[in-house]
Amino acid sequence: MTMQASKTPIKPILPQWLDRDLCLLAFNARVLDWVKRPEVPLLERLRYLCIVSSNLDEFFEVRAALYTSLAKPKAALDAIDARSQEALSRSAHNLVDEQYALYNEVLIPALAKEGVRILGHSERTLAQQRWVKTFFEREVRPLLLPVGLDPSHPFPQVANKSLNFIVQLSGHDAFGRDNEIAIVKVPRSLPRLIRLPEKLSGKRKLFVSISSVIRSHLKDLFPGRAVGQFSQFRVTRHSDLSVDEEDAKNLRTALRQGLAHRNYGQAVRLEVSSGCSSYLSDFLLQQFELPASALYLVHGPVNLVRLNQLIDLVERPEWLFKRYVASYPNQLNGTTSIFEQLKSGDVLIHQPYESFDGVLAFLREAAHDPDVLAIKQTIYRTGADSVLMDLLHLAVQRGKEVTVVVELKARFDEEANINWAEKLERIGAQVVYGVVGLKTHAKMLLVSRREGGNIRRYAHLSTGNYNPRTAKLYTDLSHLTCDLKLTHDIEAVFNLLANQSKIPRLYKLMIAPFHLQRNLIDWVDKTAKAAAQGSVCHIILKMNTLTDEKLMEALVRAGHAGVQIDLIVRGACMLPAQCVGFTENIRVRSIIGRFLEHTRVFYFQINALETLYLSSADWMSRNMLRRVELAWPVEDASLRQRIVEECLHTYLHDCVDAWLLKPDGQYVRTTPTKKRSDQTKLLLGAQGKLMARYAAKS
């Protein structure tokens, strides 16, 4: 008797996902690799070092509180095991050690070779020491107030990421007591680097750090006491604002109150000088209630981020990337009305290769056009000084009905967004704050215009923020359209955000948290079903982060069904690639280049049928379930092909700036498959090729 095969497909055994936080640290290791590349201009290498420091600050401010809490007694140890905690700590310490090794062994010698030095006290001549002494007395000492610790002077409140000194003193104070520990807080208003005058520098560019200036004159701050051991230190605190939105009567007020306390949250990391004694470091750990694993002994300044100042102070443009001037969007001619151009077809703007000025021109025309009746826009991160917000102001002044959905909880941009919300309300704009419990991360701008006896809508959708500054630094796609169904959907989403009525029927948009995740899973499963039936299928996804388990499970199923899957994930990717028995058909690459990769593109191919979506959302659970996000189709064949070529194929063929994820969870940098015939010609990665392509068009 022959047994019939079961028609029920066998569900593949899922691999163990990679650790999200280790993936984040691995991403920063890839960024740090740019510091090692000799072909990168010197000051740009310094900038990458500072970027990693800034990223690590945010990592600790947002992600590290759980791990730090676990090291304390009676903590909830079921949240994460000790092995993961140890692996994360080891990875973070190794990354910091590599940072400072590159700073001391690569960047500092390279700068010194070019006549740029940051002088320590022992390296300064007598004349330089006298100048520094005068600077200290005039500019620094009046701002310092050392605090000697005793029962009436407890350990002071130390702000998040601020520079401080801990000093051990001998002898007795003015009242005969032997309190031996003092704290010196360094005001943020003081520059972290000071350039010595030319008469003391010769042909070189010499600097002193504020920490070195204070360190050299600590004894002057404690007359009559002998200064013994000392160290600079910096504490990083948990800084993710937590506001009970259900309880808050006024979210804006609640957030303002929260911002006042952000700098004094739970301590999560302590940085001290490498020469700091265990006596002083243990004292600080005890004060901040931190475990030993939270201590970082650093061989240099405790805040490498502030070395960004050196880039401007050196004034050597030849040590920077050659300035890139974005071309005006190719589809916009700059003279004809954008409204008229959109009637002929959609417009795509590829930033930063094409200028964000095209988006500003669209809003500017809407503000000035007497036939425009209303403008609606979402604001997530626009910056403290934005021409775009000025245009909205102008639109209100010219009688337009302006509605702005401001996301007050955009991490670390809360204050700027609160200020904009208040300014817009004062001039008469309608300001709403989205939906309680959700962040509004969708990027959309809708213009309603009277044409004849009808109202016609025009819209802008984007994968990135309405921020003219970051539009020069991040890769993103802007999509301008007057498609009737798409603009109808955008209007419906604005109404949903304003009045929180019933979920609207949408023709083309996919929206989180309602059905974006489900629809994406359906697209993956549809492609998998077609592959199982013999179709040639391909999925290409480009995003910043991939951590959503349901979406990753769908991709694993599709890979088992025979779908070829290419993932271009800039940052954390928890889906292991090319693991035997699990993900053989899934390849993962990360592009780290001059610009921050920010574009989200989702491409599904079944034989000759191609479907492509752009989106504001990464494939993370928070984006799918706790944010208002959008994904929309690009149906114009020429625009779709342009996106596939520029944002997908060009990146899949990058052999310069790409990193490949291996089955063991490690990334390896790609190497060119062909040798260069001209060794003087610099090989171009995907971003370099796109810059060259658009420069040739302009």
Choose the catalytic residue: 217, 238, 350, 441. Answer: 441
Cβ-count burial of 535 within 10 angstroms (0-12 exposed, 13-18 middle, 19+ buried)? Answer: middle
- 562: how many CB neighbours lie within 10 A of its CB? 17
Q: How far apart are CA 339 and CA 40, in angstroms?
A: 42
> What are the structure tokens assigned to 594, written together?
């001059």
Question: C-alpha angle with apex 165: 163 to 171, nearest 5 degrees?
Answer: 165
Q: How far apart are CA 551 and CA 219, in angstroms?
A: 60
Query: Which region, left, alpha or beta, applies to residue 552 given φ > 0 means left and ψ of -120 to 50 means alpha?
Result: alpha
Sequence letter at residue 260: A
Write phi, then psi, for 113 (nearest 5 degrees): -60, -30
Residue with tokens 């798409």: 486
Residue with tokens 């044409």: 451
Nearest to 388, CA basis, from 424, 417, 364: 364
Query: Which region, left, alpha or beta, applies to residue 270 given φ > 0 means left and ψ of -120 to 50 means alpha?
Result: beta
Q: How far apart are CA 246 and CA 262, in angstroms?
A: 20
Query: Do 159 and 195 touch, CB atoms closer than 8 A?
Result: no
> What are the structure tokens assigned to 261, written together?
């306390």
Query: Do 403 and 432 touch, CB atoms closer than 8 A?
Result: yes
- In the chain, % helix, strand, coil (3-state, to 5) comes to 40, 20, 40
Report CA torsion sign: 228, 229, 231, 235: negative
Helix, strand, or coil here: 536? coil
Residue with tokens 């928890």: 574
Nearest to 630, CA basis, from 443, 464, 447: 443
Q: What is the largest CA-CA distance in the chain?
A: 102
CA distances from 547 to 12, 15, 23 (A): 19, 14, 10
Q: Read out DSSP for 317-375?
A: GGGSPPPP-PBPPTT--SSS-HHHHHHT--EEEEETTB-THHHHHHHHHHHH-TTEEEE
Is 441 noted as a catalytic residue in this protein?
A: yes
Secondary structure letter of residue 665 according to DSSP: S
Q: Read out DSSP for 620-652?
A: SHHHHHSEEEEEEE---HHHHHHHIIIIIIHHH
Query: Do 591 and 565 touch, CB atoms closer than 8 A?
Result: no
Query: Do 536 and 649 touch, CB atoms closer than 8 A?
Result: no
Q: Indicate the Cα dihedral angle 68, 74, 77, 79, nearest 10°.
A: -70
Nearest to 129, CA basis, from 196, 228, 186, 198: 196
Q: Which residues pair with 472 in a beta bridge?
A: none
Sequence letter at residue 460: H
> What are the structure tokens assigned to 603, written together?
């491409």
Q: Among all residues, which ones are annotated catalytic?
A: 441
